[in-house]
Amino acid sequence: MAEAAFDVLVIGSGASGLAAAVSAEAAGARVALATKGSIQSCNSAKAQGGIQAAIGEDDSPEQHAEDVWRSSHETADRQLVEVLTSEAPSAIRWLEELGVEFTRENGGYRLARCGGASRKRLLQVGDRTGHAITAALRDSVEASGVTVLAKSPLHELEPAENGWRARCGDETIEAGAVVLAAGGRCFAEAERRGELSTNHPGATGEVTRIALDTGAQARDLDALQYHPNGGAWPETMQGYSIPETTRAYGAVLLNADGEEFTDSLAPRDVVSQAIFDEVEKGKGVETPDGRPAVYLDTTRIDPHDAELSLPYMLRRYRAGGIDPLAERILTYPVLHYQNGGLVIDTDAQTTLEGVYACGEIAGGTHGRNRMMGNSLLECVVFGRRAGRAAAARH
C-alpha cells in the first residue's frame, strides 16, 4: 500500500523539473516534486550566459533551428529541434509572466551572439540568468499546491497498477505519470577523471541509471561537453564557468605568444578542442599551481558591456585580486554538460509509457554538441511539455 498518491511525480528541482511541476499543476494535476537535496540545489541556478530565442527582427525560429542542427554536426533530432526553437519566444513570455526580468537596453532586449549562432539571440539577466529563472520558477512552485519532498532522492521506479510506483527517500509514491528531470552526471564523471567540473555536486547520474535499468532507451550518453572557458586561476575560480558572453562582447582566446588560435565564437566542442590542441603543441601557459591554461583576453570588452552583462564575473574575479578589464585571465575547458540522455518524443515521453524526461537527462535535442543558451531553453520548453502531457494522463 503506497503512502501517497499523486497524478504526477516530478523528480528534480532544476529549471526543467520546476517548469514541469508548474505546468502539470496548472493543467489540473495533483503534483509532487521530489529532489535529492534542497529544492534550491541544482545546476540550472549556476547557468550564467543566457537563454536563446529568435526574437530579433533579423532572426527566425527556422534560422535558430538551422544553427542548432549545424552546431550538433547534424546529429540532433530535427523534430525536437523544431519544437525547441518554435516555442522559444513563448517560453520567454511565460518566464516574464512569472517575474523574470531580462536585461534590456534602447527599448528592447539586450541580445548577444553566442558560439555557433548566426544571429544575436541570447537573452540575459546580467550573467546570472539561470539563477533568475530558477528563482522565479521556485517562487511559482512554492505559491502553488505542489507537494515538495526535499532530501528525497529516487531509489526505485517500477510499474504499478495505475501508472508508476517510486521510492523517494523514505516515501513510497504512486503516480499516474512520472517526469524525470534530475540532470546529468558531469560532477561524478569529472571526479572519476580527476578533472574540474562546473557542475553542482548533485550531478551524479543515478536517475539515468534507474531509468535505463527500468527499460528506457538512451542516446549519445558518451557525448559529454566541455565548457571551453573554465576558470583556471585564481584557485577560487577553478571550475567556474566563465560566461561565454565574454567572447560575445569581444574577448578572444590567445596562446602563450599572444596569438589568436581559433574562432572564439565557434561551437563549444570546436573551441574546447582548439584549446586542448594548442596546449598539446606547447603553446599554452601554466597556472601558478601547475595546471594547463590559455589566455582569455577580457581587456577587449567594453566596460559598459561588462558592467551590464558580466557584473557577477567581474565581482568574483576582483574579489580574487584580478580585474578582467585590466588583465587577461587564465582559462581551460572543464566538464560541463551531458549532451545525450534518455530518448524522448516531442511530448518529452521516454520509451517507457507514462515516464517523461526533460532537461539535461533527456537526449536528442542537442545531438552530440549543445550550443550555449539552449539548455535553459530546453528546460523550459520541454519541462512545460512534459508537465502538460503527464497531467493529461490523469
Task: Give the residue numbers marked as catalytic.
Answer: 268
Q: How far apart are the first and last CA of the chain?
A: 20
Beta bridge pairs of residue 330 = 295
Q: Do residues 92 and 102 make contact, with C-beta atoms less than 8 angstroms apart?
A: yes
Q: In terms of residues, how long is the chain?
A: 394
For cell 558518451, the residue is: 222
**Single-letter residue type at 299:** T
Question: Looking at residue 290, what DSSP letter applies?
Answer: S
Grid coordinates representing 88? 522559444
Q: Give the DSSP H or E segment for 22.
A: helix 15-26
CA dist., res. 178 & res. 10, Å (int): 6
Contacts of 137 (CB under 8 A, 6+ apart): 15, 18, 19, 22, 98
Written as nine digits, the cell of 121 is 539571440
Residue 53 phi/psi, 5° resolution? -165, 135
Residue linked to cell 516555442:
87
CA-based R_g, the chain, Å: 20
- Collapsing DSSP to helix, strand or coil, 384 comes out as helix
Helix ranges (H only) for 117-253 are: 129-142, 186-193, 206-214, 245-248
Contacting residues for 192 by C-beta, under 8 A, at least 6 apart: none
CA angle, 242 as apex, 333 and 183 as ends, to 5°?
75
For 237-283, give the DSSP string.
GTT-B--THHHHTT-EEE-TTS-B-S-TTS-HHHHHHHHHHHHHTT-
The CA distance from 394 to 392, in Å, is 6
Q: What is the largest CA-CA distance in the chain?
A: 69
Residue type, 173: I
